Chain A
Amino acid sequence: MFYIHCPYCGEHREEEEFHPKGQAHIERPKDPEACSDEEWGDYLFFRDNPRGVHHELWVHAVGCRKFFNVTRHTVTYEILETYKMGEQPRITAESLASQQTQGNVQVASGGQQTVGATNAAAPSVKGEQV
């Protein structure tokens, strides 16, 4: 069961109040007429299915009924952050990867240092953004 921070309500709520709505940050082609069939098909039907960090669209269906974005790890299911529509994620697969390569020293979530960790413990900032 997720305990999800709604950036509009400003507090954590039970998963039961939310619905997932698929991949976030999908942009409609500016000029659909100029698209090739392949580009248009990609926009309409094809979605990422990453193993790792994924940015998703969720809606607080029983609550404020606003859409917002969730950055979630598809393996650990950990929610790394939630942010409002129109904002950009602070945590991405790239930002986590660059942290991991810095000296190969990673502070695990338990506060212990893990030297040479390959599976980075993601910094948990859910709900702490302003």
Chain B
Amino acid sequence: MSNAATFDTRTDGAIPVESSLAYSYHRSGTPRVGPQSRVILRERALLGHLILRGGAIVLDEAVREVLGLGLPGQPQGLVVDASGERSVQWLSPDEWLVIVPGGEEFELETRLRERLADAHYAISDVSGGQTLLELSGEAARELLMKSAIYDVHPSHFPVGKGVTTVFAKATAIIRRPSEERWELVIRRSFADYLYRWLLDAGAEYAIGVEK
């Protein structure tokens, strides 16, 4: 076990937690999902986000043992487990983003620290700083094409890819965990702006918001 100070950011007390979009739902509304909706937006709020930094080989062994998932072998790679709940994404040659169901992140971090011991690495819990939006529906890709500078054509953006890029002048991670589903990992400080952007850009596809 390293001597890094760790603490569980999710307390047991009755401290209310709310999604990064709580204010935006209230202010901008949540268009209903209807039969015309060609895009459906859903926030996967309050998940556990961890940033792992260090050598690929050392981290890969540890993550494989603790999480049962290997690090993606390729740049822009995204690995998702069978349940679709846990994922590891390549961010840079020495940096990966791990997303797990909310509440699992502290235990995962602790177990990784135990496993990695004195290795040269860093783990940061960034759960409070970002949130994950899910886009589905037949026009989801069109909506991305309107907003992002990155080429999201299936030939260039297969399932299992994730890139950090410019999305509507903000930084976002665009990921494709499955054929019909796209994910955006966005900063919470940009959440309101991007939510309103998505509603505006999705209006022509009768975007609906699932809560």
Contacts and interface: CB of A to CB of B under 8 A. Distances in A.
Interface of A: 8-11, 13-14, 16-17, 62-66
A17 B165 contact: yes
A11 B76 contact: yes
Contacts of A62: 164-166, 171
A66 B166 contact: no
26 contacts: A8-B75, A8-B92, A9-B75, A9-B76, A9-B163, A10-B74, A10-B75, A10-B76, A11-B75, A11-B76, A14-B149, A14-B150, A14-B166, A16-B166, A17-B149, A17-B165, A62-B164, A62-B165, A62-B166, A63-B163, A63-B164, A64-B75, A64-B95, A64-B164, A65-B92, A66-B92
A14 B151 CA distance: 10
Contacts of B150: 13-14
B93 A64 contact: yes
A16 B164 CA distance: 12
B165 A13 contact: yes
Interface in B96-128: none
The 9 residue pairs across chains A and B that have the minimum distance between CB atoms: A64-B92, A14-B149, A10-B75, A9-B75, A62-B171, A63-B164, A16-B166, A8-B93, A62-B166
A97 B166 CA distance: 39
B91 interface: yes
Nearest to A15: B149
Contact of B166 (A9, A10, A17, A65): A17
Interface string B170-187: 010000000000000000
A63 B75 contact: no
Interface string B71-93: 00011100000000000000111
A14 B74 CA distance: 20
A17 B165 CA distance: 7
B113 to A, nearest CB: 24
A14 B166 CA distance: 9
A11 to B, nearest CB: 7
A50 B198 CA distance: 45
A16 B92 CA distance: 18
B93 A66 contact: yes
Contacts of A9: 75-76, 163
Contacts of B92: 8, 63-66
Nearest to B92: A64
Nearest to A84: B93
